[in-house]
Amino acid sequence: MSSRPLVAVLDYGSGNVHSAVKALAAAGADARLTADRGLVMDADGLVVPGVGAFSAVMAALQKIRGGELIDRRLAGGRPVLGICVGMQVLFEHGVERGVDTEGLGEWPGAVTELDAPVLPHMGWNTVQVGEGSRLFTGIEDERFYFVHSYGAQKWQLDVQGPFRQPALTWCDYGTPFLAAVENGPLAATQFHPEKSGEAGIRLLSNWVQGLSRTNL
């Protein structure tokens, strides 16, 4: 029996996700690419990858009722990590080339095109780590690998009461955008940790190590 935390990588037809599975394994997880609903629900952590267009990712998620799985996990305080477009679809909607597509609505707000002279934003960039971040423990000054033209450029969720305030990590490329969000059991990165070398493995390791902790 493996003592490694079980991490399900949601298989809904999104590009090449095998690098994410390998990176999670290097970070200490028993990582499995799966669309099995029971395994997705029972896993210690769920990773939602995503590449390509917002609308295409949403259509693919809807086919397997991925939004329902994410909702059910979060309702039970079960950790979920979105990556790249897997982060973007967590917002209410995305606007790409004039097309407004409804997202999963876990966070309010829109994903829109970056106001930058050259798109996509492709390559390594530094981030401004948010106060209280756990994902970036020990890697606050590292660079991470981005490939995207769109992002969440505002944060609109007002967290009240006893809940921990979200840790918001920003990046700048022409305009500031959210590079990562840590909000209770739900976390996400706009960059690709699996393509970010040792720093990315450290970030995933920080997430994997926290799977047994209460994040609320």
Summarised one tens digit per residue, pLDDT across range 172-197 is: 999 999 999 999 999 999 999 999 99
- The secondary structure of residue 213, as a DSSP letter, is S
pLDDT of residue 213: 54
pLDDT at 7 over 70: yes
Q: What is the mean pLDDT of residues 126-143?
A: 97
d(CA 183, CA 164): 8
60 inside domain? yes
Beta pairing class for 107-113 and 150-152: antiparallel
Whether residue 1 is contained in a domain is answered as no
pLDDT beyond 60 at 151:
yes
**Dihedral-angle region of residue 61 (phi above 0 means left; psi in -120 to 50 means alpha; beta otherwise):** alpha
142 is catalytic: no
Distances from the Cα of 119 to the Cα of 12, 103, 208, angstroms:
27, 23, 32
Q: Can you give the CATH number for the domain in which 165 is found? A: 3.40.50.880
Catalytic residue among 84, 106, 142, 182: 84
For residue 215, pLDDT over 50 is answered with no
Domain that holds residue 26: 6-212
Indicate the average pLDDT of the chain.
Answer: 94
**pLDDT of residue 22 exceeding 90:** yes
C-alpha angle 203-112-88 in degrees, rounded to nearest 5:
35
Sign of the torsion formed by the C-alpha atoms of 27, 33, 36 and 37? positive
Tens-digit pLDDT profile for residues 27-74: 999 999 999 999 999 999 999 999 999 999 999 999 999 999 999 999
pLDDT band at 198 (very low <50, low <70, confident <90, very high): very high
Three-state SS at 105: coil
The phi and psi torsions of 154 (rounded to 5 degrees) equal -140, 155
Q: Which pLDDT score, from 0 to 100, does residue 36 have? A: 96
Which of 157, 64, 52, 63 lies closest to 96 in space, CA to CA? 52
- Taking the alpha carbons at both ends of the chain, their separation in whole angstroms is 29
Is-catalytic flag, 171?
A: no
What is the pLDDT at residue 9? 97
Residue from 93, 121, 148, 192 carrying the catalytic annotation: 192
Domain count of the chain?
1
